[in-house]
Structure 1
Amino acid sequence: MKINKILNSLLLCAGALMVPVTHAAQELPDRPISLVVGFVAGGAADTSARLIAERLGHNTGRSIAIINKPGAGGNIAHQFVAKGPKDGSMLLLGSVGPLTISPHLMEVSYDPFKDLVPVSGGVNFPNVLVVHNAAGVKTLKEFIALAKSEPEKVDYASSGFGAASHMAGELLNMEADVNMVHVPYKGGAQAMQDLLGERVTSYFSAPPTAMPYVEEKRLIPLATTGLKRPAYLPEIPTVAESGYPGFEALNWYAFVAPGGTPDPILDRWNEEVVKVLTDPEVVKKLTEFGMTPQPTTREEFAAFMKKESDKWGRIIKERNIKK
């Protein structure tokens, strides 16, 4: 009798321990997952999304489809996901522009702090300011001198109105007291093509997009937009060290989901995303792409997003930037 009681107690304990494991395994939808990207295929966002999605799919046993919805600096994709299914079957590779800049610049049909919810940070990287050879400048100092000597004739491309590349240019306008003309595109690939075609003077580009052309001597790098030189671009000075202390305009992507997605599902996706972003092989590949993995808790990313929103909101107000 005593042995039977002990066995029954052990079975009950074992059953209690097994429940959370079974529950956790059922938190992700057992159907294809959509990962929405707000930019065209071939750019930095798309490249990182495909790498991470491949590993996520492998780890979770789910089929993960990349859905590119370019336009309006990524806002179209964010609006789409804000109205998406709340069962964990749709994620968005959110970006700095639509999440923390655009709401200060224009009317958007979503609230990034209510209609979208954090899953985890993704990757971050500085932009690199590049010019075509015909611009006739080789340093940031020479570029600023050119912009001052030819007001409103020097322009800069961006991947969209309200994108990080747009704000980097506006911040340089403010800090250097120049008036470069902003030329927005529907993604980094199109902006780069017009720069190579000498239809625009400069572009605050993602490093993976720009550096192959720099190596081919088709573009000249002037400065990067982080506070420190990234390890993969040690020879290129920062804007901050080129005469504008404190200048920082990072680009970043992060994982978010439609608002109202249940916390257990968000927690599970956070666990899976962090697992991928700390995988040595994935970290190596992202670093080769010029990106720094930024895995976070859901709470850490929410705080980071608020800080970025406050920063860019203040700059937009000071510059009186309007669409």
Structure 2
Amino acid sequence: MRTRLSRRTLGILGLSLSLAPALHAQEAYPTRPVRMVVPFAAGGSTDILARLIAQHLSNRLEQQFIVENKPGGGTNIAAEYVVKSRPDGYTLLFGAAAMATNPSLLPSMPYDLFKDLEPIAVIGRTPLVLVVHPSVPARNVQDLLALARSRPEGLNAATGGNGTIPHLATELLRFESGVKLTHIPYRGQATAMPDVLSGRVPMMLESIPPLLPVIRNGELRALAAAEPERLAALPDVPTLIESGFPNLSAAAWNAMFAPAGTPAPILAKLNAEVNAIMRQPDVQARFAELGARPVGGTPEDMRRFLRAEVDRWAEVVRRSGAKAD
């Protein structure tokens, strides 16, 4: 006896057969090397973290995750490159905090952070620390602010550049404290360090990695960390929140993205793998060595975090009139 199949049944079978290779490819992902695009030159803290995560992903997924550096445009060159890549999981972005400030700092953007990229996970935070030269007669934040108030010219504050998270955090400290702080921008934190170490510029609110050695050897004095909790690397240094500024928590950060339209199973797999990597004791130890804090979480957590960052820094940019270099 013949069994007759309806057109609808045949259509469903045909659709199932046509989808099978794509579904299998997603389950088997990755089947070839994956590029992880970094928006800065090799050797910086973002590049170091990207290579750490890429190595562990390579080991766990048995395919190479290759770091590709595309610096320039304040992260826009790398981000635009990834946005225009095929959404198949084989080109990822290891993004940075400038992606949340650029929409407010630049007259136009080549992509939309929330429409053109899929969040995978926040990788880590690199805290900011407020430091002064030892010649500055301040042992805590309130001492420093009192000193600024006592001088008609206030105090100069160095950062690694206009429009950076440290610059905007310095502006936030100025708003919250009401003291006169004059921002002195440099071409990168490394360029600013000699003038702070010599005392030419008395203070700096910047990323912790280059500051840790000079804090520990007494060349600079740490007054506060811009984190919700004290840093394990500097347990005796209070936070800015403890110092009387409940809204002053700020950090550089890194996060992983994929182009919009990347299949959900691939995003879920990458998120699960990244979170597993972040829980590894050796990875946590390496983060601590670099002065960073692992974060992780879901793509939805990351989306909420990005929205809060964009909105928060947009207000600081508006009030301060900050511009990007």
TM-score range relative to shorter protein: 0.7 to 0.9
Instruction: Say whether the 8 Å CA contact 2:87–2:263 is kept in structure 1.
Output: yes
Question: What is the SS of the residue equivalent to 1:242?
Answer: coil
Which residue of 1 is the match for residue 156 of structure 2? 154
Instruction: For residue 162 of structure 2, give the secondary structure of its aligned residue in structure 1.
Output: coil
Q: Which residue of 1 aligns with 2:240?
A: 239
TM-score, structure 1 normalization: 0.81
- Specify the alignment match of 2:298 in structure 1: 297
Residue-by-residue CA offset, 1:224-245 (whole Å, 9 max, x unaligned): 1012212332111112222323
Change (3 A) 1:225 1:270: same
Distance in 2 between the 1:197 and 1:54 partners?
A: 39
Alignment partner of 2:256: what SS? strand
User: Is 1:171 equivalent to 2:172 in the alignment?
Assistant: yes
By how many angstroms is 1:254 displaced? 1.0
Q: Which residue is 1:306 aligned to?
A: 307
Pairing 1:286–2:287 present: yes
State the partner residue of 2:29. 27
Q: Supply the AA of the counterpart residue of 1:104.
A: S
Shift of 1:30: 0.6
Contact 1:39 1:186 in 2 (8 A): no
Query: 1:315 — aligned with what?
Result: 316
| Greater Cα shift, 171-180 or 78-87 | 78-87
Q: Deviations over 1:37-67 (max 9, x none)?
A: 2334443322322222211111122223323
- Give the AA of the match of 1:27: Y
**Separation in 1, partners of 2:31, 2:193:** 38
The percent identity for this pair of structures is: 35
CA offset digits 1:179-221 (Å, max 9, x no partner)? 4333444544444355445564433222222101111222221
Deviates more, 1:114-123 or 1:308-317: 308-317
Classify the secondary structure of the residue corresponding to 1:182: strand
Taking the aligned partners of 2:60 and 2:299, their CA distance within structure 1 comes to 20
Contact 2:162 2:323 in 1 (8 A): no
State the partner residue of 2:8. Answer: none
Q: Following the alignment from structure 2 to structure 1, what is the Cα–Cα distance between the partners of residues 288 and 90?
A: 28
1:202 lines up with 2:203 in the alignment: yes
The answer to whether residue 64 in structure 2 is matched with residue 92 in structure 1 is no
Deviation at 1:25, TM superposition (A): 4.6
Secondary structure of the structure 2 residue equivalent to 1:230 = coil
Q: Pairwise CA RMSD of aligned residues? A: 2.9
1:118 counterpart = 2:119 = yes
| Cα separation, partners in 2 of 1:205 and 1:41, compared to 1, 3 Å | farther
Q: Superposition pairs for residues 52-71 of structure 1, below 5 Å?
A: 52-71=53-72
Whichever structure has more helix as a proportion of its residues is 1
User: Relative to 1, partners in 2 of residues 1:25 and 1:313: Cα closer, same or farther, differing over 3 Å?
Assistant: same
Structure 1's consecutive aligned runs of 4 or more residues displaced over 6 angstroms after TM superposition are none
* TM-score computed with the length of structure 2 as normaliser: 0.81
Task: Count matched residues.
Answer: 303
- Residues 234-272 of structure 1: CA distance to partner in whole angstroms, max 9, x if unpaired? 111112222323321133211112233333322222222
The alignment status of 1:104 with 2:98, answered yes or no, reads no
Partner residue, 1:3: none
Gaps of 5+ in 1: 1-18
Query: Contact conserved, 2:158 with 2:186, CA < 8 A, in 1?
Result: no
* Cα drift, residue 127 of structure 1: 0.7
